[in-house]
Amino acid sequence: MLQSVIDSIESRCSLFLDKKQMDCLHSILVDCILLENTEDRKLKDDELIKSFLDSKKIEGCSEKTLKYYGSTLSSISKNHPKNLASMDTEDLRSYLADYCEKHGTSNVTINNIRRILSSFYSWLEDENIIIKSPVRRIKKVKTVKIVKQIYSDETLEKLRDGCDNLRDLAMIDLLSSTGMRVGELVNLNREDIDFNNRECVVLGKGNKERIVYFDARTKVHLSNYLESRTDSNPALFITLLKPYERLQISGVEIRLKKIGDSLGLDRVHPHKFRRTLATRAIDKGMPIEQVQTLLGHQKIDTTLEYALVNQQNVKTSHCKFIC
């Protein structure tokens, strides 16, 4: 109802006002009618957050991402006197500074909150709820680049030797040879595996399908695992005990950590296989664009962040081209 009133006023005034004046009028009407006259001003925030999350869901964001977005925005709404759509750049800067001081969080966390705010206010701008995003003037927070480690050949062999069942061995091989996400792994079904071509189709972020490939060793171990099963569950990987349900992400993480702990290995987790594959592929000369496709990254910058540069190769290249 209130929105229709705003639309009617703007329609009539458009005959007499230029674009800049219309933008100012829109901002005033939103502040004075749509926001201030709402019976429960925080109810408006809830509606905006829900609409924003609906739009991100349609774009293909995962439930985990949506939950993170929602909790972050709801926390800001709850702890700030202004409506979200009324907050300006200084309000947001002050909130981020206070949050950092209160919680002692890292720059990485603060920058993640800034990114969520940027996405939210850009959406408000696109929806003509605000004229200009107040986050535009808030620069990206500088963070320390931490060199994340990968699995060595020796470590991978230790992990394989540390498996006491066919499922875990096949799971480690599939993760290491395809570089797929753990969420993609647990969603696979038996019928998704093409053993003849040693490939399978996974559903990645944004509900985008892509083909990943596995090696001969993975084919053998995966075949042995499936042949050993007597259940009728269509899932590719299931629990070891009855009722043999589909393995979840937490189950994979717990199992890998347990194997790593038994071998005295630190920080064994599924995502490290993905980073290892990316690093080795680039190290052996695979074009970065192909690695990007293999991993299902939308932006090539993400692929570059995953991959480490082999320092020995840098030294060799230096001798070759500089010395």
pLDDT digits (tens, 9 = 90+) for 235-244: 999 999 999 9
CA dihedral (153, 156, 160, 163) positive or negative: positive
Distance CA 319, CA 34 (A): 67
Enumerate domains of the chain plus CATH numbers: 38-126 (1.10.150), 153-317 (1.10.443.10)
Distance CA 277, CA 270 (A): 12
Please indicate whether residue 181 is annotated as part of the active site.
yes
| Spatial CB neighbours of 55, under 8 Å, sequence gap ≥ 6 | 123
Confidence of residue 7 (pLDDT cuts 50, 70, 90): confident
Please indicate whether residue 205 is annotated as part of the active site.
yes
What does 124-154 look like in DSSP terms, one character per residue?
A: HHHTTSSSS-TTTTSPPPP----------HH
Contact (CB, 8 A) for 159 and 259: yes
pLDDT at residue 20, rounded to an integer = 80
Structure tokens at 251: 């189950």
- Catalytic-role residue among 136, 148, 271, 318: 271
Burial level of 40, CB count in 10 A (0-12/13-18/19+)?
Answer: exposed
Contact (CB, 8 A) for 198 and 152: no
pLDDT at residue 144, rounded to an integer = 67
Please indicate whether residue 318 is annotated as part of the active site.
no
- Catalytic-role residue among 26, 272, 275, 297: 297
- Catalytic-role residue among 181, 221, 255, 272: 181
pLDDT reading at 204 higher than 70: yes
Q: Please report which helix (H) or strand (E) contains residue 252, including its range.
A: helix 249-263
Q: What are phi and psi of 194, to 5 degrees?
A: -105, 95
Which of residues 58 and 28 earns the better pLDDT score? 58
Confidence of residue 40 (pLDDT cuts 50, 70, 90): very low
Structure tokens at 299: 């932006």
Distance CA 283, CA 307 (A): 9
pLDDT at residue 93, rounded to an integer = 93
Structure tokens at 48: 């905006």
Mean pLDDT of 124-135: 90
pLDDT reading at 149 higher than 90: no
In the chain, the N- to C-terminal Cα span, in Å, equals: 74
Mean pLDDT of 201-226: 93
Q: Please report which helix (H) or strand (E) contains residue 200, including its range.
A: strand 199-203
Contact (CB, 8 A) for 221 and 78: no
Percent of the chain with pLDDT over 70: 88
pLDDT digits (tens, 9 = 90+) for 294-310: 998 888 888 877 666 55
Mean pLDDT of 283-299: 87
pLDDT at residue 316, rounded to an integer = 65
pLDDT at residue 212, rounded to an integer = 95
pLDDT reading at 35 higher than 70: no
In 237-252, which positions are buried (b, 16+ CB within 10 angstroms) versus exposed (e)?
A: bbbeeeeeebbeeebb
pLDDT at residue 70, rounded to an integer = 95
pLDDT at residue 38, rounded to an integer = 43
Residue-averaged pLDDT of the chain: 87
Which of residues 153 and 14 earns the better pLDDT score? 153
Distance CA 101, CA 120 (A): 23
- Catalytic-role residue among 221, 274, 275, 280: 274
Highest mean pLDDT among 97-111, 124-138, 250-264: 250-264
pLDDT at residue 302, rounded to an integer = 80
pLDDT reading at 39 higher than 50: no
pLDDT at residue 205, rounded to an integer = 80
Which of residues 302 and 255 earns the better pLDDT score? 255
Mean pLDDT of 279-283: 85
Confidence of residue 94 (pLDDT cuts 50, 70, 90): very high
pLDDT at residue 37, rounded to an integer = 47
User: 2-6, 108-112, 146-150: which has the minimum mean pLDDT?
Assistant: 2-6
Torsion angle of the four alpha carbons 122, 115, 91, 120, in this order, in degrees rounded to the nearest 10: 30
Which of residues 208 and 66 earns the better pLDDT score? 66
pLDDT at residue 188, rounded to an integer = 97
CA 44 to each of CA 83, 198, 275: distance values in angstroms, whole numbers, following the listed order: 8, 52, 42
Please indicate whether residue 274 is annotated as part of the active site.
yes
Percent of the chain with pLDDT over 90: 54
Please indicate whether residue 306 is annotated as part of the active site.
yes
